[in-house]
Amino acid sequence: MRAFRVERYGDKAGPRVGEAPDPEVGADDVLVRIHAASVNPLDRMIRDGEMKAILPYKVPFVLGNDLAGVVVGTGPAVTRFAVGDEVFARPGKDRIGTFAELIAVHQDDVAIKPSALTMEEAASLPLVALTSWQVLVERARVQPGQKVLVHAGSGGLGTIAVQLAKHLGAHVATTTSTGNVDLVKSLGADVVVDYKKQAFETVLRDYDVVLDALGGETLKKSFDVLKPGGTVISVAGPPDAALARELGANPAVRLAMSALSFRTRRLARRRGATYSFLFMRASGEQLRELTPLIEAGRIRPVVDTVFPFESTREALEYVEAGRAKAGKVVIRLV
């Protein structure tokens, strides 16, 4: 099969589309012919070796964390899917590789594609939709009337998180640039802070939950907008020991992660708040819970640009350079 493989960590120019062995299909696996895959910041981080401590992929490996496609084979223990089914998925962290013509995915991580979506639209959703669900529903347990701040509301994660938070009944604020103010309002944002004109920490107060996708100074300033007992959940800040435990890391890695997040956790305690880092996990069950919201139009994908498979490297460069105006960048294979 054709695949976009990383031969050496940190080599931006090296990965290219070439031949790779077809995947082996286990008893519980669904073999999918991929029609579309989307690009995430995580792909760049994996390629550059920034995640090696917790995701030690052995080179060469195929990049990619989102897919939509058609089932072309099933293992003998598969009960939920049949050949011909249109599906979408975020493969488990140990089985990435969606920038390829074929992939074998455990049936627990797969869901039937929402019928209203194109393959490109469906491929844009799994990682960011699951992240939004796991932050807002599973961890923060957002309730109607609560105040939620979603940073970078026009980004791949932000566009979905704003919509989900609004569906949950929250009062939603978000940050974005001038050109995307109308977009995030159309997605359901009640308050929009144009970061080119205002500092969000000076205009927002008494928020229950902040979803941070930026890290750095934005993360630090996010504690200024919380009410006592509020929480910041980050996908871009320093990881914590809880993540290390979830990933089964050894004691040394756990200690290192705890040290990385010490200052942030201390800041949270001083503000009477909490901090946690979330590394999303694959879940076909949660994708199935999200599907009715997608079918009803309560969550709609936002696709910035679609690249052909042969231009996968250019798609990564486009995302890395910050050229995407809103939503996700997608790679079309079929």
pLDDT at position 164: 98
Q: For the whole prediction, is pTM greater than 0.95?
A: yes
- In single-letter form, the type of residue at position 267 comes to L
pLDDT at position 58: 94
Kindly state whether residue 291 falls inside one of the protein's structural domains: no
Kindly state whether residue 292 falls inside one of the protein's structural domains: no
pLDDT at position 242: 80
pLDDT at position 272: 96
- In single-letter form, the type of residue at position 37 comes to A
**234 and 167 inside one domain:** yes
Element containing residue 192 per DSSP (H, E): strand 191-194
pLDDT at position 221: 98
**145 and 216 inside one domain:** yes
Kindly state whether residue 18 falls inside one of the protein's structural domains: yes
Range of the domain at 319: 2-124+302-332
How far, in Å, CA of 254 to CA of 251, rounded?
A: 5
Each residue's pLDDT tens digit, 301-317: 999 999 999 999 999 99
Kindly state whether residue 135 falls inside one of the protein's structural domains: yes
Residue tagged 């008494």 (tokens)? 206
**141 and 246 inside one domain:** yes
Domain boundary among 233, 261, 277: 277
Burial of 149 (0-12, 13-18, 19+ CB in 10 A): buried
Q: Please say whether the beta carbons of 26 and 104 come within 8 A.
A: yes
Kindly state whether residue 202 falls inside one of the protein's structural domains: yes
Element containing residue 61 per DSSP (H, E): strand 61-62
**310 and 262 inside one domain:** no
pLDDT at position 44: 94
pLDDT at position 240: 83
Residues of the chain with pLDDT under 50: none
Q: State the total domains in the chain.
A: 2
Kindly state whether residue 290 falls inside one of the protein's structural domains: no
pLDDT at position 233: 98
Kindly state whether residue 271 falls inside one of the protein's structural domains: yes
How far, in Å, CA of 278 to CA of 238, rounded?
A: 10
How far, in Å, CA of 324 to CA of 114, rounded?
A: 25
**65 and 23 inside one domain:** yes
pLDDT at position 66: 98
**118 and 147 inside one domain:** no
**3-state percent helix, strand, coil for the chain, nearest multiple of 5:** 35, 25, 40
**Domain at 51, CATH number:** 3.90.180.10
Cα dihedral angle (302, 308, 312, 313), rounded to 10 degrees?
-110
- Going by C-alpha positions, the residue among 108, 105, 55, 41 that lies closest to residue 247 is 55
pLDDT at position 245: 78
pLDDT at position 138: 98
Tell me which DSSP letter residue 31 carries.
E
**Domain at 258, CATH number:** 3.40.50.720
**196 and 60 inside one domain:** no
